[in-house]
Amino acid sequence: MLELEGVNRSVGGERHIVDVSLKLARGSVNVLLGPTLAGKTSLMRLMAGLDEPTSGKIMMDGRDVTGVPVRKRNVAMVYQQFINYPTLSVFENIASPLRLQKQPKSVITDKVKKAAELMKLSGFLDRTPLELSGGQQQRTALARALVKGAELVLLDEPLANLDYKLREELREELPKIFAETGAIFVYATTEPHEALLLGGRTATLSEGRVTQFGETPDVYRRPKDLLTARTFSDPPLNVLKVEKRGLSFHGAHGVHFAAAPRHRELADGRYLAGIRPHHLERGRPEGEDETRAVIE
């Protein structure tokens, strides 16, 4: 298990990560969801050991690894901007962590071929990265992370440069593959629908803070606050002022909707309601223009 306990990270007086506490189990899929500059990459760098927290602790299976550099950890990390060895063939790029582990030649060949087949690189193993498309280079980086057998796999928006079809396929396959290894799988994205497709557990981030962490469907359907709801909404959340009267909410321009069961005990009064666009529908009851909202 990877545990972050009250982790903070400041650079030049600016706080990049603020009081983050998380527990990530082995074999789990964990999504870091937030807009650009929310702190996703900064948090991953702390998890990997590329950066050291200003305060707080990072534990791996009960062992304090705070400040332990990445080279002394069994970690694999893939960025949106792919990183490969330009003078090595695709085969050797994928095989490089296995050679460092001094694996037998037969094991290396078998693992590289299986990873290449999964990433649709079987016909390119003799080429160098510079002879590949951007998408193929990213798949090479993903294959290298796959064969490494790391206990912590960090993927920072790794599919952004791939074509749509392959991106959809890998979104479904990658979590299963890494989870089967018993690795802790952490995936950063700016896209709410990608978090829903990956499943597992999601941490929503805003300005270096984790606003909520839990099972992905629960965070989506039951955000704890408006900030989390905004983070987990695409298209953007509609926010309007409403007044609760009895078992329904009423807003301007004839907007009204029934209170969901969990909202019926709220006291009558004024509130802010966040409504996702797909919960809205247009109707004309009794010949009048009216907008209704269906709230989960």
Domain range summary for the chain, segments of one domain joined by +:
2-223, 238-293
Q: Using the predicted structure, report yes or no on whether residue 107 has a pLDDT greater than 80.
A: yes
Its sign, for the CA torsion 171, 176, 178, 179, is positive
Using alpha carbons, list the distances in angstroms from residue 11 to 2, 4, 15, 52, 54: 24, 19, 6, 11, 9
**The CATH number of the domain covering residues in 2-223:** 3.40.50.300
Q: Using the predicted structure, report yes or no on whether residue 94 has a pLDDT greater than 60.
A: yes
Residues 241 and 249: beta-carbon distance below 8 Å:
no
What local confidence, expressed as pLDDT, does residue 289 receive? Answer: 52
Mean pLDDT value across residues 77-81? 80
The C-alpha atoms of residue 272 and residue 223 are separated, in whole angstroms, by: 14
Q: Using the predicted structure, report yes or no on whether residue 173 has a pLDDT greater than 60.
A: yes
What local confidence, expressed as pLDDT, does residue 44 receive? Answer: 96
Residue identified by tokens 């060949």 is: 109
Q: Per residue in 173-185, is it b (16+ CB within 10 Å) or e — as a string?
A: ebbebbbebebbb
Mean pLDDT value across residues 95-110? 94
